[in-house]
Structure 1
Amino acid sequence: MTRSRLLTLTASLATTLFVLVGLVATPANAASTVRYVALGDSYSSGVGAGNYTSESGSCQRSTSAYSALWAAANAPASYVSVACSGATTLTVASSQLSALSSTTTLVSLTAGGNDMGFADIMKTCALYGTTECVAAVQTAENKANSTLAGLLSTLYTKIRAKAPNAKVVVLSYPVFYQLNTVCVGLSATSHAKINEGINLVDNITKTAAQAKGFVFADVRSIFVGHQLCSGDKWLHALNFASLGISYHPMATGQSGGYYPVFRTAAS
């Protein structure tokens, strides 16, 4: 082979290699432009998943939460979770939105359940009978029908004002119980009523999110077969030794339920 032909071949190979490297690098470069902020309550902070960060304190932000899993897999330019256990739409607005800016490109959120008294309802259902449980859920449904859409709309408007250029993904809550199974604990009537209340909150949330042009990411179907009273549950049942994790996703619920739904919605 002549020297000139060797030089030509070497240059051609170098060009090909450069192009291939560029093609491989493109997804990483694209991901690195994302500036992601996770907002919300305990379902976003990762309560029940363990592996809580020391800086998060009582907010109990977990490295096993769906937002952290997404960030680890996608290496965004920046990622911060300010989600906090017990957060309501009002406390998200007052204490979390400072993390947003005009440079934020992706936001995730769960909110609304605590506004309807989620913890107190489940405590009532666990400690008292069916009549009291059904009444507590019905009171929350009445409140949701009259106030939740307005609370969510106000919060969503504030999020959009703080992050005008962001894709906002609002995630649902999972429906807790698999019905028509043999299951100890609460009555079948209580199970059905609790599911009804969760579906109402999720449906109101869906309407409010879509009205603002946000993406609604519904986890309900992916949790089917992994609910309480199923053979492979992704949710903690009532735990008197650690009440805070009761009815929250385990690490498997975050990785197998919330994460894939959010990954699809964020793409």
Structure 2
Amino acid sequence: MKRHILTSVILACLGLAACGTDSPVPGSAPVDVPVPTYNYVALGDSYAAMGSTSAETTGPDYCLRSSDNYPAGVLSDAQVTGLDATCQGAVTADLLRPRDAGSEIIPAQVDALADSTDLVTLSIGGNDIGFGDIAGCFLMAMHTRQASNCAAAWEAPVSARVAELPGRLDEVYRAIDERSEGARVIATGYLPLLAPGERCAEVEVLSDTDRAWVVSLSEDINRVVAEAAARHDAETVLPAAAADHTGCAEPGQRWVDFLGWQTGAFPMHPTPVGQAVMAEEVLAQL
């Protein structure tokens, strides 16, 4: 992987200083240790693109690329320069090929990569398994207050899509490596909407079967994402405390939200707080 390293001369000087006396050499100047910098590109779907509903957006209007999403948080760091190429609704194919959004054509996200790119974040896979269908089923139950039956309708097709996802992710990683060989890639996991055994007023209308299914599905996709990253010598970031900050947490503590109206988030997506936490996790990894 590309690394910004000190020259051998500076390393030698530091080594000599460490082996010398405890007192500084009279008249010696302090050694300036350069801070690593990164040329960064963010790739991915709405879990990366969409922050608060009130934030300004950048890039194509269709993408809902928020100015307070986690890529923006990473780009705000002095170590990082680059761009955000994320777009809501993206599947793996949209990273590799142009996307017809009706009123405009969205370029393939990997076209944002270059030889000079040495840091990439990647949030992809949720839409490949049908996240929109799943979220829509749960939201319909929540709005109508009629008991859900989402697993019965969607478990079989979603399981088939999960089985196909590793191959699709491998294709994405190969495309990243072709355009930015040696770049450091950090795959960001999906913040879970619900923790095991968790109940709250917002999800009371969901059946026990559906609650258990959405938990297992979150675990499945994050496992597939992490395994794909490992196959391609990439890293994975998912905040350790994510299960304590689901849509059932107090509004100010939610990193994701079911309906979004209490947190300024889009339904079934990360909250502004969740996006900020993910940015912090990525920067801590650096």
Query: Shorter-chain TM-score category?
Result: 0.7 to 0.9
**Percent identity among equivalent residues?**
23
Q: Flag structure 1 segments of 5+ consecutive residues without an equivalent.
A: 1-11
Normalising by structure 1, report the TM-score.
Answer: 0.81
Question: Residue deviations 1:23-77, cap 9 Å, x none?
Answer: 5xx22xx22xx1100010011113446423243312111221112112212342x
Change in CA separation of 1:191 and 1:70 when aligned onto 2, cut-off 3 Å: same
Q: Does 1:41 align with 2:45?
A: yes
Q: Does 1:124 align with 2:140?
A: no
Q: Flag structure 2 segments of 5+ consecutive residues without an equivalent.
A: 1-23, 98-107
Question: Residue deviations 1:160-196, cap 9 Å, x none?
Answer: 1111020011111011114333323432432221111
Q: How does 1:126-165 map to 2 (within 5 A)?
A: 126-128=139-141, 132-165=149-182
Q: Does 1:201 align with 2:212?
A: no
Change in CA separation of 1:218 and 1:234 when aligned onto 2, cut-off 3 Å: closer
Q: Which has the higher helix share?
A: 1
Q: Does 1:57 align with 2:61?
A: yes
**TM-aligned CA deviation for residue 140 of structure 1:** 4.4
Q: 1:115 aligns to what SS in structure 2?
A: coil
* Corresponding position of 1:81: 84
Change in CA separation of 1:223 and 1:247 when aligned onto 2, cut-off 3 Å: same
**TM-aligned CA deviation for residue 155 of structure 1:** 1.2
Contact 2:260–2:271 under 8 Å retained in 1: no
* Cα RMSD for the two superposed structures: 2.8
Contact 2:194–2:211 under 8 Å retained in 1: yes
2:200 to 182, 204, 214: 182
| Stretch moving more, 98-107 or 170-179 | 170-179
Max Rg structure: 1
The letter for the 2-side match of 1:236 is: D
Q: Does 1:218 align with 2:238?
A: yes
Task: Tell me the distance in 2 between the aligned counterparts of 1:222 and 1:68.
Answer: 22
Change in CA separation of 1:41 and 1:182 when aligned onto 2, cut-off 3 Å: closer
Task: Tell me the distance in 1 between the aligned counterparts of 2:161 and 2:59.
Answer: 33
Q: Does 1:172 align with 2:183?
A: no
Task: Tell me the distance in 2 between the aligned counterparts of 1:48 and 1:103.
Answer: 31
Aligned length: 244
* Corresponding position of 2:256: 235
Change in CA separation of 1:127 and 1:46 when aligned onto 2, cut-off 3 Å: closer
Change in CA separation of 1:218 and 1:132 when aligned onto 2, cut-off 3 Å: same
Change in CA separation of 1:64 and 1:131 when aligned onto 2, cut-off 3 Å: closer
Task: Tell me the distance in 2 between the aligned counterparts of 1:111 and 1:227.
Answer: 20
Normalising by structure 2, report the TM-score.
Answer: 0.76
Q: Which has the higher strand share?
A: 2
The letter for the 2-side match of 1:37 is: V
Task: Tell me the distance in 2 between the aligned counterparts of 1:197 and 1:107.
Answer: 25
Question: Residue deviations 1:83-133, cap 9 Å, x none?
Answer: 000100000111111111111100001001011111111111232565631
* Corresponding position of 1:99: 112
